[in-house]
Structure 1
Amino acid sequence: MTLSQAALPGRSLTRNVMLVLAGTMLLALSAQASVPMFPVPMTLQTLAISLIGLTYGSRLAAVTLIAYLAEGAVGLPVFSNGGGGLPYMMGPTTGFLIGFVGMAWLTGWLVERGFDRGFGKLFLAAFIPALLLFVPGVLGLKLVTGMGWQAAVMAGAVPFLIGAVVKAVIAAMAVKGGWALFNRR
């Protein structure tokens, strides 16, 4: 059972739609917390994705990320610095944007497989998918920009490694705290 299922029992369509909308709003807001770096900005999106995966589970987390990408594709300003539209999605961050769905799904899948309680397990459930996000992210960066592999890794992965650890710690602490609050009630 995920934290969202425990806190909001029942599996109604209305509940799931509200969770997806809340998740896409969190993602859009987290994208605006952006440190301009070239060619990939540093945002809080991966923290939001970890939180969504850790609390929603695999399917609902993946649907939330697909909805977020659809919002961006139709031109809503949900990406970093108010970006939106298909041209934005075809830029240097294309691999990361596509990889967000897999990151959310894998995070939720790990939670559904027992990585749902305790700081260490929650940390791993957030950190492993965050590391794997670099695979499509760097690949997309290389393909879109024509950078060599080393340059793509240096621009699309290395500057974000410490942030991945910090975000996984924050996500694990937040969800662990959420479970503690839920269990007290």
Structure 2
Amino acid sequence: MFAPSELLWAVIGLILTIGCTWIEAFVFGLPISEWLQGEGGGIEAISLGVSFQVGAVLFTGCMGGKNAAALSQIAYIALGVLLFEFFGLEIFAHGAGIEYVQEPSFGYLLGFVPAGWLCGLLAFRSKRSLERIGFAALCGLVPVHLCGMAYLIVGYLFRWLPAPPGLGTAIMSYSIVQIPGQVMVSCAIALIAFGLRKLLFY
């Protein structure tokens, strides 16, 4: 059985994952060199090339624990398939429904379940610290990409994924290019989760 707090965090995690699918992650650049030269310059928003979706998964793990994070992602994947099949609603980034299993990114969505579980396990394994939560968040990225790349490899070998653009290009697009931005999002999530857990005394 799940504790009430785990169920609450599972619902929060589900809502955050759906909402963060379309929220792009940015960092803000300060024009320090222009300021030093006495020139005016505004603060510039620089895209990290990723959304906050993975951050929502890791945040749920850092705040709600392994069961809440895993449950929220199982619900997310199930809703993505069922809501489209019965009501025509899309909650995945590139579509929805049972046909989504043929999307190259579907393996990464499957990876959200072990990612949230592992992150939650590590985040609550010992006394709360920024280092522990940061380590948990970064470790949570590993299952996302392992599951995603394994899905791509098997999908291309057994030809249920579309042939273009090719396995190497797909791994580059869905993993290699995404990792730097996701690492930065994970670090930000760790800081937020640590501050909230300290504020909430747990």
The answer to whether the superposition gives a TM-score over 0.5 is yes
Whether the 8 Å contact between 1:43 and 1:80 is mirrored in structure 2 is no
Whether the 8 Å contact between 1:58 and 1:105 is mirrored in structure 2 is yes
Deviates more, 1:117-126 or 1:138-147: 138-147
Aligned residue number for residue 187 of structure 2: 169
Deviates more, 1:169-178 or 1:87-96: 87-96
User: Would you say 1:11 and 2:10 are equivalent positions?
Assistant: no
Inter-partner Cα distance in structure 1 for 2:7 and 2:131: 30
The CA deviation at 1:148 is: 5.4
Whether the 8 Å contact between 1:131 and 1:164 is mirrored in structure 2 is no
TM-score under structure 2 normalisation?
0.72
Q: How many residues align?
A: 166
Aligned positions of 1:1-185 closer than 5 A = 11-12=3-4, 15-33=5-23, 42-74=50-82, 75=84, 76-80=89-93, 83-114=95-126, 117-142=128-153, 143=155, 144-146=161-163, 149-183=167-201
Inter-partner Cα distance in structure 2 for 1:68 and 1:132: 17
Inter-partner Cα distance in structure 2 for 1:90 and 1:134: 17
For residue 133 of structure 1, give the secondary structure of its aligned residue in structure 2: helix
TM-score under structure 1 normalisation?
0.78
For residue 42 of structure 1, give the secondary structure of its aligned residue in structure 2: strand
Provide structure 1 residue ranges, at least 5 long, that are not aligned to the other structure: 1-9, 36-40
Which one has the bigger helix percentage?
1
Aligned residue number for residue 3 of structure 1: none
Inter-partner Cα distance in structure 2 for 1:149 and 1:88: 18
Whether the 8 Å contact between 1:141 and 1:156 is mirrored in structure 2 is no
Q: What amino acid does structure 2 have at the position aligned with 1:129?
A: G
Inter-partner Cα distance in structure 2 for 1:58 and 1:17: 11
Inter-partner Cα distance in structure 2 for 1:134 and 1:88: 18
- Identity, in percent, stands at 25
Inter-partner Cα distance in structure 1 for 2:24 and 2:150: 22
Q: What amino acid does structure 1 have at the position aligned with 2:68?
A: L
User: For the pair shown, which has the larger CA radius of gyration, 1 or 2?
Assistant: 2
Whether the 8 Å contact between 2:9 and 2:69 is mirrored in structure 1 is no
Deviates more, 1:101-110 or 1:149-158: 149-158
Aligned residue number for residue 30 of structure 2: none
